[in-house]
Amino acid sequence: MSRLPFEWMLALRYLRPKRKLVSAITLISVLGVMLGVAVLVIVIAVMSGFDRELRHKLAAYTAHLRVEAADGLLTEYAELARELATVPGIRGVTPYVTGPVLLKTQPAEGSSAFHVPSVLGVDPGSTVPPVSTLLQSLVSGTNELRGYGFLVGRELAGKLNLHPGDAVAVYAVNQLERWNTARQKGEEEAPLADDFTVRGIFDVGFYDLDALLVVCSLANAQDLFGLENAVHGLIVALDQPEQAAALQTRLQAQLGGRYRITTWYEEHESFLQSVVVEKNMMYYLLFFITLVAAFGICSGLITFVVQKTREIGTLKALGATDGQVMWIFLSQSLIVGLLGVSCGVGLGLLGVHYRNEFLSTMRRLTGFELFPADIYHFYELPALVVPGDLAIIVTGALLMSLLGGLIPAWHAGRLEPVEALRHE
């Protein structure tokens, strides 16, 4: 004798393939739940991975805190840096200069190429992240910035065909502004470019930095922008980047209104928030796929209840309660949901594991870039499977499967034996 309740025994018996329309509808329902869950697992894992990698890259290669003078440039920055370095939670402090420049290549043959990246002037001997992290992310050349040395990102180097040892001419924006002012006054004094040598090429794995950033020494950047001994601000590296907001409040109270302090999250808030909003929207939108599968379960059980009207009447005549009859059909919807969810989770995790191989295959077959780095900022599709997200997906899919079988099960439970047998 089976130890299963008779409701489960009947539900399993009714679900056996019999080459009938109901069996086909049941298979379609299982496939619907499986595909819905698989798509949810893949998309949510990719969104979670994208959020994690984005935060990791930003925290690793951008300033955790920036301290700037409220009224312009920082002049007495060395004293301020020493004061900040004593604050608990701060790993290090280093000055910086940044701004847009016009870059002109000087090839031995062919015409010159132009680009307008941002230059970051840093202390070449700094051991403060993210400056030290950036200087250590070289793929060729050296990070020697003394003299007129320059580091360029991999994407920018590829776009301008630059290699270590190549010469580049650099025009600062203020030079071009002075030239424009002089030209309007009738003076034709052309600006002279500063000649730099590409010493190394870095690759941080983040497209914006690799394509739009060049690095030089702090002294060279000060000369480019005519700052003399001033800097634009201080880069503050923290032991725990996620504590940037709390430390910002403390430092602002300590330093007063003479300084403006911004966190790495504030600088990229719209970008980070957009990822969170998109992930939440994906939950709602993609759950409609599972909802469609629930309608498939509902339609299949409605057909099944109509076909089994006589059997339902017989069970009721033998003493089966309304709840027991309802549970027979709810068990069917639950079994279909369990099968679909189990297969969907497995298929989804498999898709997450081979996501980049799939993209590479599609790129070879179609010649179309499905994940362009210049749009998504990453060279590979990131993913992170969060157990909490899996729990939400599995629970939601099972609940929808049960709800899909609720109406036909309730109708079957309300059938009267006499009425059920009269029409047979």
DSSP-assigned letters across all residues of 326-366: HHHHHHHHHHHHHHHHHHHHHHHHHHHHTHHHHHHHHHHHH
* pLDDT number for residue 375: 62
Q: Let me know if residue 304 belongs to a domain.
A: yes
Write out the two tokens for 227: 């700052």
Q: Let me know if residue 236 belongs to a domain.
A: yes
Residue 382's contacts (CB-CB under 8 Å, 6 or more residues apart) are 46, 49, 50, 52, 53
Rounded Cα distance, 201 and 162, in Å: 9
* pLDDT number for residue 121: 93
* pLDDT number for residue 376: 63
Write out the two tokens for 420: 């059920």
Residues 261 and 163 in one domain: yes
What are the angstrom distances between the C-alpha of 377 and each of 12, 155, 243, 371? Answer: 50, 11, 25, 9
Residues 68 and 40 in one domain: no
* Of the residues 267, 284, 301, the one at which a domain ends: 267
* pLDDT number for residue 16: 60
**β-pairing verdict for 213-217 and 118-122:** parallel
Residue 147's contacts (CB-CB under 8 Å, 6 or more residues apart) are 197
* pLDDT number for residue 381: 82
* pLDDT number for residue 1: 42
Q: Let me know if residue 327 belongs to a domain.
A: yes
Residue type, 28: I
Q: Let me know if residue 283 belongs to a domain.
A: yes
Q: What are phi and psi of 197, to 5 degrees?
A: -120, 135
Q: pLDDT tens digit string along 318-374?
A: 666 766 777 777 777 888 888 889 999 999 999 999 988 888 887 788 777 767 666
Rounded Cα distance, 397 and 34, in Å: 9
Rounded Cα distance, 236 and 96, in Å: 10
Q: Let me know if residue 363 belongs to a domain.
A: yes
Burial (0-12, 13-18, 19+ Cβ within 10 Å), 231: buried
Residues 343 and 411 in one domain: yes
* pLDDT number for residue 273: 81
Count of structural domains, the chain: 2
Residues 84 and 120 in one domain: yes
Residues 131 and 257 in one domain: yes
Rounded Cα distance, 312 and 334, in Å: 19
89 DSSP assignment:
T
* Of the residues 221, 245, 267, the one at which a domain ends: 267
3-state SS assignment for residue 371: coil
Write out the two tokens for 161: 């065909």
Residues 105 and 181 in one domain: yes
pTM for this model (two decimals): 0.70
Q: Let me know if residue 1 belongs to a domain.
A: no
Burial (0-12, 13-18, 19+ Cβ within 10 Å), 103: buried
Residues 47 and 139 in one domain: no
Q: Let me know if residue 349 belongs to a domain.
A: yes
Residues 393 and 418 in one domain: yes
Low-confidence ranges of the chain (pLDDT < 70): 1-23, 176-191, 308, 312-320, 322-323, 370, 372-377, 415-424
Residues 79 and 95 in one domain: yes
* pLDDT number for residue 17: 54
Residues 324 and 186 in one domain: no
* Of the residues 267, 302, 318, the one at which a domain ends: 267
Residues 282 and 50 sit within 8 Å (Cβ to Cβ): no
* pLDDT number for residue 217: 93
Count of positions (residues) in the chain: 424
Residues 131 and 260 in one domain: yes
Domain span holding position 161: 63-267
Q: How many CB atoms lie within 10 A of CB 327?
A: 21
What are the angstrom distances between the C-alpha of 385 and each of 34, 94, 317? Answer: 18, 37, 51
Q: What percent of the chain has pLDDT over 70?
A: 83
* pLDDT number for residue 164: 93
Write out the two tokens for 98: 């940044």
99 DSSP assignment:
E
Nearest to 403 by CA among 346, 340, 329, 344: 329
Rounded Cα distance, 74 and 259, in Å: 9
User: How many Cα atoms are found within 13 Å in the side-chain-facing hemisphere of 139?
Assistant: 13
Q: Let me know if residue 299 belongs to a domain.
A: yes
Residues 159 and 298 in one domain: no
Residue type, 243: Q
